[in-house]
Structure formats: C-alpha cells, structure tokens
Amino acid sequence: MQVSEPLKGWHSRGYHSHFDAAPVVQSVTFRLHDSVPAELLVRWRSELLMDRRIGKAGSRSRAAALEKRSEDYEDAGHGECWLRNPRIAQIIQEALLYFDGKRYRILEWCIMPNHIHVLIVASPGHSLSDVVRTWKTFTAREANLLLGRKGGFWMPDYFDRYVRDENHLEAVRAYIRRNPVKAGLCESEEQWRWSSAWIRD
C-alpha cells in the first residue's frame, strides 16, 4: 500500500504556488522540459516576483497572464514535441488513466505535442503533488527508454488552479477539449486521439 504525503494546502517549490487539498477540482498543466525556453520563463517569473516585491496591484491577474503567454507559446509547437509520437502519447494516456477512479477522478484530459492538461479531483488521502509526481516519474522513464535518451523530460514543476464554481468548471472543460483545435491540430475536439473528447465522444 502506497503512503501518500500529507495534503499541504497552499505551498510552493519556488516556481508556482500550488493548492493541495481533496476533494477539490483542479486544472493541472505540465510541460516538456523544452516547451518554453528557460530564459523566457526566468524573465516572465522575474516580472512577477518584482510585482510582488513592490506590491504592484494585479499580481494575481499577471500570474494568469503568464500562464496564458506560456500556453500560447506551447501551442505554437516549440521544442522537441515528443508527445507527438503515438507510442509516447499512449504511455502517458495509460499512466493518466491507470489509477482513475482509485487515487483520483479525471474529468477531462488532453495530451498536446509538448504539454498536458488534466482536470482532476484527487481522492482523500492522495495529494495532487504526489499524483503528478508519480505520473511524471513513470512516464519520463518510459519515454526516455523509448527515445534512447537520458536527461530531463518534463519541466520540474507543474501549474495547477483550483476550480471555483460550476461556470469555471465548464470553462476549463471546454478549454481542455478545444485546445487541439485552437492549436490547429484537428478540426473538431473529438478527432484528437489523445484526449477525453476522443474516448468519451
């Protein structure tokens, strides 16, 4: 039996702030290590840190703007985009769904060429950070074996946002399902093979 780490509430490892509590619906994004160049992330995070230090109003909305900037950059297809490889996408999709209904419940997911979106409710006793770490550790090892490479596969952190209400939930669901269409990868959401829209529709 796996012992999960205790739920932490709000916490940070120096990158993004995370909210870890169950059962809360959360939107999670994690990215390949080269999906956004490190120098861009450093610059964007420096802007946010400066805002916080000087007490600039709207730092929360600026954090959301940083996430949108990252998403738009990713959707342009930067980096190696290893998740385009159907064998790697299959590994990741199976890993996401393996404990669905046990350690967590996945409401939506989408595997893009260089990042992943998951809408999830962690089960009591299972922290979100523990769930994401398990996904990343297993899939990085398996993908690197398949690619015949070593080294970093995922960015060290992930981005999460808890869902505030029903309207927010529907907006996040729609965003995840439409992401491949928005990025020009398919014409309709149910055509994207590596998503909840494909499997459930």
Of 81, 104, 105, 94, whose CA–CA distance to 194 is shortest? 94
pLDDT number for residue 79: 85
pLDDT mean by block of 10 residues, the chain; 201 residues? 44 47 85 75 64 59 68 72 97 98 97 96 93 97 97 91 92 96 95 94 64
Distance CA 197, CA 195 (A): 5
Q: How far is CA 26 from CA 13, 86, 108, 128, 186, in A?
A: 18, 27, 11, 9, 26
Of 72, 71, 67, 74, whose CA–CA distance to 35 is shortest? 74
pLDDT number for residue 162: 87
pLDDT number for residue 2: 37
CB 165 within 8 A of CB 173: no
pLDDT number for residue 156: 87
| Amino acid letter for position 170 | E
